[in-house]
Homo-oligomer: A and B are copies of this chain.
Amino acid sequence: MLNQALHPQVLLFDVNGTLLDLAPVRRSVNEVLLDERGASLWFSTTLHHSLVMTVSGKHADLMEIGAAVLQMLARNRDVVIGTEDARQALSAMRSLAPHPDVLPCLERLRRAGYRLATLTNSSKAGVEAQLKHAGLAGCFEQRLSVETPQLFKPHGDVYGWAAEEMKVAPSACMLVAADGWDVAGAKWAGLQAAFIAREAQQKFPLAELPDIDVADLAALADALAA
């Protein structure tokens, strides 16, 4: 069982935070909110509202939700910001740099025979722009976005759909993510999961444990391609 768990056929990589460093967006949001911890609240509230839409049968671009939430949080701090300015404050999202451990890890995993894809809450156009700017566009067989199923992660159907797109069973896929809630959803949907403990990320205590729990992507490559 252990060996099988460590030999998924397909690795599905979360993008924001897992592959790409969100620091420039954090800085930009903190500046709007005049609060050096504002970005944590913005991320959390944006993720909440993405699921508010999903459980209501609605969908919108994650950055449109993020801009709306930024306006809500700004108003609570007596800062008025228009929709266009809120979008502009989030524009750094499309030109994020990869974490330094990303490219070496992806190359090792490809050489070891794994099939690689992204699975992101970003829109299709968003993830294309992000990967191109980060120099990662050629690393993935498919660049899957929740825009196609019109459901945000961690809705169980998103993971099942991704496995179908890759033409394998859910159990043959491993989600790789730095968000505890993403790992939780993938495990509950029957995928394998690897948690990457990036800064200020925690596993969700009510979820199943991930199959792999490592500090960074170098350690993931060690575990999967040793």
Residues of A bordering B, CB below 8 Å: 35, 37, 40-41, 44-45, 47-49, 51-58, 60, 64-65, 68, 71-73, 75-76, 83, 151-152, 154-156, 180-181, 184-185, 188-189, 200, 202-206
Contacts and interface: CB of A to CB of B under 8 A. Distances in A.
Nearest to A45: B44
Contacts of A64: 206
A68 to B, nearest CB: 4
Contacts of A155: 55-56
Contact of A53 (B48, B49, B206): B206
A204 B73 CA distance: 10
Contact of A51 (B40, B51, B68, B206): B51
A179 to B, nearest CB: 10
A77 to B, nearest CB: 9
Contacts of A156: 55-57
A37 B30 CA distance: 14
Contacts of A57: 156, 188
Contacts of A58: 188
A204 B55 contact: no
A188 B52 CA distance: 11
Nearest to A47: B48
A49 B52 CA distance: 11
